[in-house]
C-alpha cells in the first residue's frame, strides 16, 4: 500500500518536472527564434470582427502585439486611421493580423447586395417618387436623412387654418437596398434618366421606435397630413442648426 502511494507521489513529481522542462524549452526556443529578428508592432484581432464593421470601430476588437517582420502579412495596418471610410469585407477571426486588404469601400459591399443589418436594427421598405429620393442617386450602403412636412390644423374664427411645418425627422439612416433606380433602354441597354415621378423603393435599417416614427410619415392619409423628402448624407454632412420651418419663419 505504502509502495503504491510513494509511487504515485513520485509519478506526480516527475510529471510536474517534465512539464516545467517542456515549458522552459518552448520559451527558450521562442526566444532563440526571435533573437536577432527585426520586430514590428501590429494589430492582432482579439474578438471576431463582423462583416461590414466600419474601420472606425475596429479598435475595440484588436490589440497591439509585436511579431518578427518576416511573419508580417502584406498590407498590415500600422494606423487604424487608415481604415476610416472602409468596412470589413468579411468576418475577421481572432489571431489574424489586421490587414488593409480585408477592408473595402462600403459601396463595393453594397453593390454585391451585402449591406449587413446592424445589431438590434430591423428592415423596413417604402416607396417615393424619384424627385424625393435625390433624383434616384441613393444607393445601398448610403446614409440618408428625412425631412417631414405635417399640416397641423390651427383653430381659426370661421374655419381651420392650415400652417404646414417642415423639419428633419431622421439623420444617418442606413440604406440596405434600392429598387427601381435605373430603367435600361430596351434597345441599347444603356441607363436612362430617371423620371421625376418614377417610383423608387428604398429599404432601410432602423431601431424599433424609429420604425414607428418612420411609418407615421408614410402610413394612412399621408398625402393629406405628411409629406417626406430624403437627403443624401456623408461623413462631412453638417446637420447642426436645423429647426422647424412654418409660415412664420420660412421667409
> pTM of the predicted model, to two decimals?
0.55
Average confidence (pLDDT) over 186-190:
57
In this predicted structure, what is the pLDDT of residue 170?
94
pLDDT confidence band for 145 (50 / 70 / 90)? very high
- pLDDT band, very low/low/confident/very high, at 222 (cuts 50, 70, 90): very low
What's the pLDDT at 37? 66
The CATH class for the domain spanning 39-104 reads alpha beta
Three-state SS for the chain is CHHHHHHHHHHHHHHHHHHHHHHHHHHHHHHHHHCCCCEEEEEEECCCECCCCEHHHHHHHEEEEEEEHHHCCCCECCCHHHHCCCEECCCECCCCECEHHHEECHHHHHHCCCCCCCCCCEEEEEEEEHHHCHHHCCCCCCEEEEEEEECCEECCCCCCEECCEEEEEEEEEEEEEEECCCCECCCCCCECCCCCCCEEEEEEEECHHHHHHHHHHHCCCHHHHEEEEEEEECCCCCCCCCCCECCCCCC
Top-confidence residue, 124 or 85: 124
CA distance 128 to 251: 27
Taking 70 as the threshold, does the pLDDT of residue 81 lie above it?
yes
| Mean pLDDT value of segment 42-65 | 89
Higher pLDDT, 137 or 18: 137
Mean pLDDT of 113-132: 85
**Res 6: pLDDT:** 64
Where does CATH 3.90.1210.10 sit in the chain? 39-104
* Residue 153 clears pLDDT 60, i.e. is over it: no
Q: Which residue has the higher pLDDT, 221 or 196?
A: 196
Buried b (16+ CB within 10 A) or exposed e, 35-73: eeeeeeebbbbeeebbebbebeebeebbeeeebeeeeee
Q: What is the pLDDT of residue 16?
A: 63
Contact present, 106 and 87 (Cβ < 8 Å): yes
What mean pLDDT do residues 9-14 have?
Answer: 61
pLDDT category at 185 given cuts 50, 70, 90 is low
Amino acid at each position: 500500500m505504502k509502495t503504491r502511494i510513494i509511487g504515485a507521489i513520485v509519478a506526480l513529481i516527475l510529471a510536474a518536472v517534465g512539464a516545467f522542462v517542456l515549458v522552459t524549452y518552448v520559451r527558450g526556443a521562442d526566444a532563440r527564434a526571435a533573437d536577432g529578428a527585426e520586430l514590428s508592432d501590429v494589430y492582432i484581432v482579439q474578438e471576431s470582427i463582423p462583416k461590414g464593421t466600419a474601420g472606425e470601430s475596429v479598435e475595440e476588437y484588436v490589440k497591439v502585439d509585436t511579431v518578427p517582420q518576416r511573419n508580417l502579412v502584406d498590407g498590415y495596418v500600422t494606423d487604424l486611421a487608415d481604415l476610416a471610410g472602409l468596412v470589413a469585407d468579411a468576418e475577421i477571426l481572432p489571431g489574424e493580423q489586421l490587414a488593409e486588404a480585408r477592408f473595402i469601400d462600403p459601396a463595393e459591399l453594397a453593390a454585391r447586395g451585402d449591406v449587413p443589418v446592424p445589431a438590434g436594427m430591423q428592415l423596413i421598405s417604402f416607396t417615393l417618387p424619384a424627385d424625393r429620393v435625390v433624383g434616384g442617386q441613393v444607393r445601398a450602403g448610403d446614409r440618408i436623412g428625412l425631412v417631414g412636412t405635417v399640416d397641423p390644423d390651427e383653430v381659426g374664427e370661421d374655419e381651420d387654418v392650415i400652417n404646414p411645418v417642415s423639419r428633419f425627422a431622421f439623420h444617418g439612416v442606413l440604406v440596405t437596398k434600392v429598387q427601381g433606380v435605373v430603367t435600361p433602354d430596351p434597345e441599347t441597354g444603356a441607363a436612362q434618366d430617371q423620371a421625376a415621378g418614377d417610383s423608387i423603393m428604398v429599404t432601410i435599417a432602423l431601431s424599433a421606435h424609429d420604425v414607428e416614427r418612420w411609418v407615421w410619415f408614410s402610413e394612412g392619409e399621408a398625402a393629406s397630413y405628411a409629406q417626406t423628402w430624403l437627403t443624401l448624407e456623408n461623413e462631412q454632412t453638417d446637420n447642426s442648426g436645423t429647426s422647424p420651418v412654418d409660415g412664420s419663419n420660412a421667409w
